[in-house]
Structure 1
């Protein structure tokens, strides 16, 4: 069975966006960029909320990004190779290939997708990931914690829900970012 992995960047105070919906406080460097590319290389399907999908779709729709460097070209290639499932009530069509739109998050359908997938899946978008965490579908969280406090915004983990995690691994990067790998206990 494939794993469902929640991957996200968050501030030291636990937010994925500040109060204005911005996440420009994330200065990506090559070392972290390579980590993301390597992680996504083994993933066959990305499950996205609409806003994250629209932010990531540029890796297919804007060829100028890949032309900036070999690292960016590699990431674009890896991103484009995976299937995408976008959960949205407003999006009418996808701007990228191999992408389907679902109107609502269906835990049974995601469980079936995990059971039949030949490679791992990632889930992105804090609201969507919260639903998957609450449904007990997430097998691993890979949280990249950035050394900044934004003071409020959209939390990276569900509120009002108690989930106990087991630390699997940690890694520190030269720019002060820390990757924390957790598994929800009982899974």
Structure 2
């Protein structure tokens, strides 16, 4: 049985994307990227929405030494080995790669619980829109936030407005660019 983890890169004021939908301000430097590479070793399944799935297709290409650093090559290898569950009512089966990638037009909480129960490692739910119902229902067992030292003033909130959580800090790191990694569990 897996565990459900919500991971988000957020601005200091709590947004995953700014008011224009831009999140380029959250791009990791080398140290943060290396941390993500190591973190991905625990992930067996990624649950994500249509937009994130499309953006992450970049990592599905064959890594080449001429274009990608060794860390990028390793991230791509790790990304390509995990199962992906795409929550989207607008994509079709033709839009997702057969095999490891599975389309779920309506990701119910029961379906998410089945995914977690059948996983062999961490099930990472990625993106505030996809994660919102699971957060509200209390299904998320771990929260990981990469807090970027930037205030964007509005946009897509990393956490739903209507949720109250008591969390316990279980780990933290500060990177040389000022990004803080904060790891919490409920309770």
TM over 0.5: yes
Q: Which runs of 5+ in 2 are unaligned?
A: none
- Deviation, structure 1 residue 65: 9.2
Deviates more, 1:59-68 or 1:16-25: 59-68
Contact 1:66 1:74 in 2 (8 A): no
1:14-45 per-position Cα deviation (integer Å, ceiling 9, x unaligned): 00000110001124211111111111111111
Match of 2:151 in 1: 149
- Deviation, structure 1 residue 62: 6.8
**In structure 1, distance between residues paired with 2:46 and 2:10:** 19
- Deviation, structure 1 residue 116: 2.4
**In structure 1, distance between residues paired with 2:83 and 2:150:** 32
1:46-69 per-position Cα deviation (integer Å, ceiling 9, x unaligned): 000111111112100475698321
Match of 1:30 in 2: 30
TM-score between the two structures when normalised by the length of structure 1: 0.93
**In structure 2, distance between residues paired with 1:98 and 1:21:** 29
Match of 1:170 in 2: 172
- Deviation, structure 1 residue 87: 0.3
SS at match of 2:32: helix
- Deviation, structure 1 residue 73: 0.3
**In structure 2, distance between residues paired with 1:66 and 1:180:** 34
Match of 1:98 in 2: 100
Match of 1:116 in 2: 118
Contact 1:59 1:65 in 2 (8 A): no
Q: Does 1:73 align with 2:112?
A: no
RMSD: 1.7
Match of 1:41 in 2: 41
SS at match of 2:45: strand
Deviates more, 1:144-153 or 1:93-102: 93-102
Label 1:168 to 1:28 Cα distance change in 2 as closer, same or farther (>3 A).
same
Instruction: Tell me which of 132, 135, 147 is aligned to 1:133.
Output: 135
Contact 1:65 1:72 in 2 (8 A): no
TM-score between the two structures when normalised by the length of structure 2: 0.93
Equivalent residues, number? 185
Contact 1:15 1:153 in 2 (8 A): yes
Label 1:15 to 1:57 Cα distance change in 2 as closer, same or farther (>3 A).
same
